[in-house]
Chain A
Amino acid sequence: MLEINNLHVELEGDAKPILKGVSLSIGAGTVHAIMGPNGSGKSTMSYVLSGRDGYRVTEGTATLQGEDLLAMDPEQRAAAGLFLAFQYPVEIPGVGNMTFLRTALNAQRKTRGEPEVSAGEFLKLIRDKAKSLKIDAEMLKRPVNVGFSGGEKKRNEILQMAVLEPKMCILDETDSGLDVDAMKLVADGVNALRDQGRSFLVITHYQRLLDHIAPDVVHIMADGRIVKTGGPDLALEVENNGYADILAEVKG
């Protein structure tokens, strides 16, 4: 599904490298987790993959189902099936949540040469999806993320994911700022979307999200590289011993 090979990235206008050769292969229907200390490059990787301005790829490749991601605009990546759930979802006053989502869905469909979804069809679709995430009609009408609590913003991200039905979902610290109940709700939303054709990359600091979204593969990232890869047990090891041991082991 997603193939990243020897990816090197630096900030535009600053020759300081942030990613120093990341390689990652995520198969269809699998859930990968990336853990790592602050500043290891986890969020940068999610931004680069989704096409945010301000980064320069100096080496390496990233493909989604064989298509060159790095050559596409952000909207083309979305239409190709990539979705990033933001760590800090953006507030957009004056644009209704539903208007936003319908615009996004139809734009993607148009790009893929599919017919647009009518207002009626969309309403039915979004109501079904919203219900399971405990998002009420009032929240759908409000401007995008404006006045939403931290938990509501994250649930709204998952709602977007559910409506847009991407193939490759990246969750950037979706657990940050969530209490246990909210995290459970978000995780349930994600789990409901798991299927054989859809892959996930879950970026997190803590193991606790992975209690709810069980990963197939866990990677540890440090200093712009994947330094260790293992099974779900690796997340438990981090939880118990912190990153220091692993980093020392890798360096040693």
Chain B
Amino acid sequence: MSLAVVKSDPLANRLASSDHVTAGWTAPARAEALARLTAMGLPGRRDEYWRYTRPDALNAAMPLPAMDFRSDEVPVFDAVDRLRIVFIDGVFSEADSDPLDVAGIRVERLADVQGADIHWAQDLYGTLEAKGQHPVARPFAALATATATDGVLIHVTGRALRPVSLIYRHNAATSDAVLHHVIRLDPGAALTLLENGPGAARFTTLMEVDVGEGAAFHHIRAQGRDRDRHAATHLFARVAAAALFKSFTLTVNGRLTRNEAVIDLLGDGGVAHIAGAALGDGAFMHDDTVFMTHDAVGCESRQVFKKVLRNGAVGVFQGKILVKQGAQKTDGYQISQSLLLDEDSQFLAKPELEIYADDVACSHGSTSGAIDETALYYLRSRGVPRKEAVDLLVLSFVAEALAEIADDDLREDIADRLRGWLARRA
């Protein structure tokens, strides 16, 4: 496919730098995604879900440069026994990755198997994304389906003994990477998926996850700390009966981060939790946009988002719970909170509930506040210096989100990152 570069057409400009895959089993899905993207166009400020977050840097033909973050710290998840799959600026690095053969799971690279016939992946690739485009358009998700250069396909048939760890390194100052992952958990299967690193100067990702009946999917992510990086990530999941889906994201630094999640609870008794802790200092724009759909009986969903903001950092939360007709006994919970460490920072929240069943319990709350002076006084009266006391209260503030990480060691690992971030600040 060749796209004529028309200077006045931002979408054509945005797509011009991508090599378009026109052969193999993903080709039809890519063509459809491109048609969807062309029809919806790139987002603008008039789009309801882009009012708080300016998409300019994501729309631009070329990424803005971003230096990689250097630190002496041990990388997150380093102590975890895991299957490591490394991408550098979006390009798979065989030298840094482990062999992809693991008992209980099949891991393949999208770039390797474009020509092969993989039915389960073919059924998923672009499918959840396409479905998740309504009622809210998600242009960068369509872009990821259309133009992804690589990604992983993970098919979990049993209980994966080790977590799969996607490591996204960033070296080149103006790299622009697009990855698309497809994950299928068979009934009763279990997988812990770890993701960390900035990925690229501009990083667009899409992950489609199909959680089969009674399966359990744990996702823990630490987004890269490169100050000037831009990221648009998408997580589309469908959760079958009695299945468990859990996702936690830690974001520290980054010029712009838009994390979208579209989760459908399709089988009775399914559980979906999505949580995030974001810490921003200065030029930091962090946006969580979540769409949780209850389309079965007796499902439980939780959205827990905490943002700590200072020096003009901005946090956005747009979270929806849709309870469809017949989704009785739904238990939906949503909380989005910000801790503003000064008066320059901003938190913009748009919680939404839309309920068409009559026997449901849904609650949502959103708050914005400063450090609790009484608690600060209490800690200081015990001898804890002001700075340390504030740090403890920040950890206290994000604790509810961290508690969503089921594994103790992984939770502690993430908490260490938070402490590190705080310790680096005066």
Contacts and interface: CB of A to CB of B under 8 A. Distances in A.
Interface of A: 50-53, 73-75, 77-79, 83-84, 86, 89-90, 92-95, 100-101, 103-105, 107-108, 111, 143, 160, 164
B392 A74 contact: no
B377 A164 contact: no
Given A92-B378, A93-B396, A101-B382, 10 more contacts: A73-B380, A90-B378, A92-B396, A94-B397, A94-B402, A103-B388, A104-B382, A107-B384, A111-B383, A143-B396
Given A52-B377, A53-B373, A53-B377, A164 B382 contact: yes
A52 B380 CA distance: 9
A140 B388 CA distance: 20
A52 to B, nearest CB: 5
6 contacts: A51-B381, A74-B380, A75-B381, A78-B383, A101-B382, A103-B384
B395 interface: yes
B382 to A, nearest CB: 4
Contacts of A73: 380, 385-386
B374 interface: yes
A95 B389 CA distance: 11
A104 B384 contact: yes
Given A52-B377, A86-B378, A100-B392, A93 B399 contact: yes
Nearest to B375: A90
Interface residues of B, number: 25
B191 interface: no
Given A53-B377, A74-B377, A89-B378, A95 B383 contact: no
Main SS at interface, chain B: helix
Contacts of A100: 379, 382, 392
Given A94-B395, A95-B392, A107 B377 contact: no
Given A103-B392, A143-B399, A90 B380 contact: no
B395 A107 contact: no
A25 B398 CA distance: 44
B186 interface: no
B108 to A, nearest CB: 40
A107 B378 contact: no
B383 A92 contact: no
Given A93-B400, A94-B399, A100-B392, A75 B375 contact: no
A143 B398 CA distance: 13
Contacts of A104: 379, 382-384
Closest 3 CB pairs of A and B: A94-B399, A78-B383, A108-B383
Contacts of A86: 378, 381
B357 interface: no
Interface string B389-408: 10011011111101100000
Nearest to A166: B383
B222 to A, nearest CB: 19
A104 to B, nearest CB: 4
Given A74-B377, A90-B374, A95 B395 contact: yes
Contacts of A79: 383
Contacts of A51: 377, 380-381
A85 to B, nearest CB: 10
A77 B398 CA distance: 29
B381 A74 contact: yes
B392 A92 contact: yes
B381 A50 contact: yes
A113 B392 CA distance: 23
A107 B383 contact: yes
B378 A94 contact: no
B402 A78 contact: no
Contacts of B386: 73, 75
Given A78-B380, A93-B400, A94-B396, A107 B385 contact: yes
A94 B400 contact: yes
